[in-house]
Chains A and B, each alone.
Chain A
Amino acid sequence: GESVGLHLPTLSVQEGDNSIINCAYSNSASDYFIWYKQESGKGPQFIIDIRSNMDKRQGQRVTVLLNKTVKHLSLQIAATQPGDSAVYFCAELSTSYGKLTFGQGTILTVHP
């Protein structure tokens, strides 16, 4: 069945370092892959997405890479800041709307 999973449940980095959060997926038919950030006590917040026909997409301080050969997705955060501390989820969207499938999540902790 469809599934999205994460390799690392926790990640601790120093302020100013670059962070890389990884995700594996199994549904090759997904249209989009999306990264969300969830802070404590809040709902998920959209960060960036990538269409399935792309390999790389850049945003402000974030880059998402998609490797369809090995079904791997990653989120790179440049110059990580304490405000980046949160749980990060990857999700995949199939062609049927609403069929967002979330991964387990990675806890990112940024130390000053």
Chain B
Amino acid sequence: NAGVTQTPKFQVLKTGQSMTLQCAQDMNHEYMSWYRQDPGMGLRLIHYSVGAGITDQGEVPNGYNVSRSTTEDFPLRLLSAAPSQTSVYFCASSSPAAGGSRGTQYFGPGTRLLVL
């Protein structure tokens, strides 16, 4: 299994541009989430999904959209990039059927985004 994969690894955008961060998992996990991590801080939840066709907002959803048309993919869209969205973005997946803490999430390697 490749686990959780994210593309691109690094992206530079100009203010106002839009883009989509891709996330895919091959573990058949029901749950997927997007986080952002700013320097010296922990991860903050942007959006999450408990299954195909179901999404919900996290702690910092403004400026981002998500969709979950398949179990495997959970793209994150930046509608109009702003310098405040410069951050490292992590996608994660998990499955309650795996037992234990539902917080046992598998994280992708991250996408570093710089908005000028």
Contacts and interface: CB of A to CB of B under 8 A. Distances in A.
B58 A98 contact: yes
Contact of B103 (A42, A91, A104): A91
Contacts of B101: 31-32, 34, 49, 51, 93
Interface in B44-97: 44-45, 48, 50, 56, 58-59, 90, 92, 96
Contact of A34 (B44, B45, B90, B104): B104
B109 A98 contact: no
Interface of A: 4, 31-32, 34, 41-46, 49, 51, 89, 91, 93, 97-105
B100 A97 contact: no
Interface residues of B, number: 28
A97 B109 contact: no
B90 A44 contact: yes
A44 B107 contact: yes
B66 to A, nearest CB: 12
Nearest to B41: A104
B60 to A, nearest CB: 12
Given A43-B90, A97-B31, A98-B58, A34 B43 contact: no
B107 A32 contact: no
Interface of B: 4, 31, 33, 40-45, 48, 50, 56, 58-59, 90, 92, 96, 100-110
B41 A98 contact: no
- Going nearest first, the 3 A-B pairs with the smallest beta carbon separation are A102-B42, A43-B107, A98-B48
Contacts of A93: 101-103
A43 B103 contact: no
A30 to B, nearest CB: 10
Contact of A46 (B4, B41, B104): B104
Contacts of B31: 97-98
B56 A98 contact: yes
B67 to A, nearest CB: 16
A105 B42 contact: yes
Contacts of B44: 102
A35 B44 CA distance: 15
